[in-house]
Amino acid sequence: MKKVIITIVLFGFIITGCKTDTENPDFIKNQIMEYKIQVENLNEKIFELEKKLDDNGQSKEAIKVEAEIVESTNFEQFIDVSAVVDADLNSLISPQMNGQITKIYVKEGQFVSKGQTLAKLNDEVLLKNLAQLETSLLLADTLYEKQKKLWEDKVISEVEYLRSKNQKETIEKNIDVIKSQIRLSTITAPFSGIVDRIFGKEGEIGVPGKTLIQLVNLNKMIATADVSEKYLPSIKVGDEVSISFKTYPDLNIESKVYQIGNVIDPNNRTFRIKVMFDNIDSKIKPNMLSVIRFQNFQTNNAIVVPTNILTEDIDGWYLYTIENKDGKDFAAKKYVKIGNSNENQTVIESGLKEGDKVITKGFNLLKNGMEVKIQ
């Protein structure tokens, strides 16, 4: 019997030892004490916060804010579009006939005048052909004059006379063709400018369509941009624009739109505009990136507020104005309908009127009805 009791007692000790700490009475008492201390600390913090509120749950201390009076003003909205610059006169010059390049008369970076000889193709065969044709023409002329006299004297038939005349005129036309080919063997500058690059070498074969010399004139430049079709009603030829360049942050060029594309690109729904401008000191180079800024919207009588004071919730856009009651200023939440905006201003189409005071600083600390103090 004693053995059974001892076994039961031991089994009880084992079960008691298997209990987790969270079930231990001492552990539970300690936890209760800790939670009571935390509750006491939270109650003290709540009490301190409640002392700052009045009976209506509003702050007893007015929130310091800054405000400005709403007035009608001029408003402009501008659109920036990326553009690529090219020279108005920028040509890749190639021969107009096949031939060996016998001489290149210019160097890269050299300024040349319109009509100046740039290069020469071998025209030796053409000159020989010309000499041969000119000799043949002398004989043909002599025969023609004699045949003409005989025909006039009715010694020969008209057919014989016409045959000699045709032979003479054919040789004359062939001479004109040869002379044209000889002229084409001399490559000249189509306009005054700078030889930017020379692609061929003396002794190589010049081929029509294969660039020999790149000639560029930097006096007039063209900025070309692709603009979204939604701005088509906003742009017309003659509109003033400004052009800026990342390479020259301090350079801003004023010019006008001189061409608007007549086709909408179906791939990106854009149309093309071109702006021509004078290249001051030849700073701007072909293929340089730029930004064209044009006016998209303008009005002389708009209610405008700083964009950063506007906030949106499920009911729409709102801001805070100041309302005075019993000599005190309070924040009033106003929902507004917004219109066009630029970098830092937005037009208010409805919800505000001239004379209203909008809060411009401290608005992020406010709720509707809070007392405020204008700094």
Specify the pLDDT at position 2: 38
Write the class of the CATH domain 63-76+300-374. mainly beta
Instruction: Measure the CA–CA gap between 38 and 153, rounded to whole angstroms.
Output: 141
In a 3-state reduction of DSSP, which class is residue 10? Answer: helix
What pLDDT shows up at residue 293? Answer: 94
What is the residue whose two structure tokens read 């970076």? 109
Q: Are the C-beta atoms of 250 and 244 separated by less than 8 Å?
A: no
Give the CATH number of domain 80-87+220-296; options: 3.40.50.300, 3.40.50.1970, 1.10.1200.10, 2.40.30.170: 2.40.30.170
Answer for the pair 67, 305: CB distance below 8 angstroms, yes or no: no
Q: Which amino acid is at 336?
A: V
Mean pLDDT of 41-49: 75
CB 195 within 8 A of CB 187: no
Q: Which fold has domain 89-206?
A: OB fold (Dihydrolipoamide Acetyltransferase, E2P) (2.40.50)
Confidence grade of residue 289 (pLDDT, cut at 50, 70, 90): very high
Question: Can you give the pLDDT at residue 80?
Answer: 93
Distance, in Å, from the CA atom of 93 to the CA atom of 286, rounded to the nearest integer, reads 17
Q: Report the chain's mean pLDDT, rounded to a whole number.
A: 86
- pLDDT surpassing 70 at residue 356: yes
Q: Which of 297, 301, 311, 300 is nearest to 358 (CA)?
A: 311
Q: Which of 276, 233, 271 is nearest to 255 (CA)?
A: 276
Which residue type, as a one-letter code, is found at position 53? L
The domains of the chain are located at: 2-50, 63-76+300-374, 80-87+220-296, 89-206
pLDDT digits (tens, 9 = 90+) for 15-34: 444 445 667 887 888 888 88
Confidence tier at 7 by pLDDT (50, 70, 90): very low
pTM, entire model: 0.63
Whether 63-76+300-374 and 89-206 share one fold: the answer is: no
Of the pLDDT bands very low, low, confident and very high (cuts 50, 70, 90), residue 301 is confident
Q: What is the mean pLDDT of residues 221-249?
A: 93
Rounded CA gap, 63 and 30, in Å? 43
